[in-house]
Structure 1
Amino acid sequence: MRLNEPRVRPVNMDALTPDQAEVLAPLGAGGVIPAGRVLNIFRTLAHAPKALKAFLTWGNYILSKKNDLPAREREIVILRTGWLCRSGYEWTQHVEIGLRCGLTPDEIPRLKAGPDAGWSPADAALVRAADELHADQFVSTPTWAALLAHFGEKQAMDVVFTAGQYTQVCMMLNSFGVQLDDGQTLDPDFAKA
């Protein structure tokens, strides 16, 4: 975590404005705010409800079946991006999601190590693309060719869309100081940064 406390505190769920209540309603269990746990990321971004609404539209594309990357491969890109951006919140949330989407427990630490950490050629291309996008905001010609050797053109585009979305997410999480949700534990490797 970059900050030990939030710069922007999550909104109080008992004191929402009408705009905040409207944008947060679908994020609670069954669409009822009091019944569901609304994550700190959304409670923080709710200070700007119109921005949150727009953010959710694009984020829903990235996490939906409209994104042509299979869920496991999408999570490889998200987690590598979260690691490179040093976003403990993003990493913590998406390790759980990644495991549910088919990543194995031994693959999680390899995401920290990079594209040469024993990945298949397809997975290494995803990790390398995330690295290049983070470092240079550009996928090199050899890495693009490696992506196309394993994925369709639209899937390769979705790699860029996914890395870009989660770079933005990490920027917000890190800068606003969004803290882990109740019951979560920070990966100790983030404390070393």
Structure 2
Amino acid sequence: MRTRWPKNSNNLAVSRFGHLLNSRRVLLNHPELLDLFAATPQWFKSRSRLPARLRELVLLQIGCLTGSAYEFSHHIVIAAAHGVDGEDIRAVIAETEGNETDLSLVERASLSAARRLTTELDVEDVTWAQPKAISGDSN
């Protein structure tokens, strides 16, 4: 199925400084790559083994860490449908700032892995292993 950008898709390709983002330019000019790119969020929603609440906490963490107001506010609405409340959202912000929270051990470990992946573009094996070991997931 071919992904279709809205008619005003150029707005999606412009940075907050008014420049066309190279990554968006590539996507707009390569429909096959666009299909793969657009499929990624759908995979996380439908095929990921992460529980929905944990998935939304991780996405909130990434939105908070990157300063993406759209990503953060968009996922606040989605997260609420999966049991994430205001206290959880404040905890994500606190975790981003390096403060202690009452989130579960697996939630804190997952947020830590998300922060590492977002800032370093790499996650050490020990960082991946921590949430998996805590949750009992062997994959």
> What is the TM-score when the length of structure 1 is the normalising length?
0.53
* 1:52 Cα offset (Å): 3.5
Give yes or no for the alignment of 1:60 onto 2:42. Answer: yes
Q: In the alignment, which residue of structure 2 is the partner of 1:144?
A: 128
Contact 1:83 1:112 in 2 (8 A): yes
Question: 1:137 deviation in Å?
Answer: 2.2
Name the residue aligned to 2:75. Answer: 94
The offset of 1:151, in angstroms, is: 4.7
Across the aligned residues of Structure 1 and Structure 2, the Cα RMSD in angstroms comes to 2.9
Give the C-alpha shift of residue 95 in structure 1.
0.6
Query: CA contact under 8 A between 1:42 and 1:52: conserved in structure 2?
Result: no
TM-score (norm 2): 0.70
Sequence identity (%): 27
Give 1:97's aligned amino acid.
Answer: I
Please, which moves more after superposition, 111-120 or 44-53? Answer: 44-53
User: Relative contact order (C-alpha < 8 Å, sep 6+): which is higher?
Assistant: 1
State the match for 2:115 in structure 1: 131
* Unaligned ranges ≥5, structure 2: 14-23
1:65-101 deviations in Å (ceiling 9; x for gaps): x101011111111110111111001001001001111
Residues in 2 aligned to 1:44 and 1:136: alpha-carbon distance in whole angstroms: 25
How many angstroms does 1:43 deviate by?
A: 7.0
**For residue 18 of structure 2, what is the aligned residue in structure 1?**
none
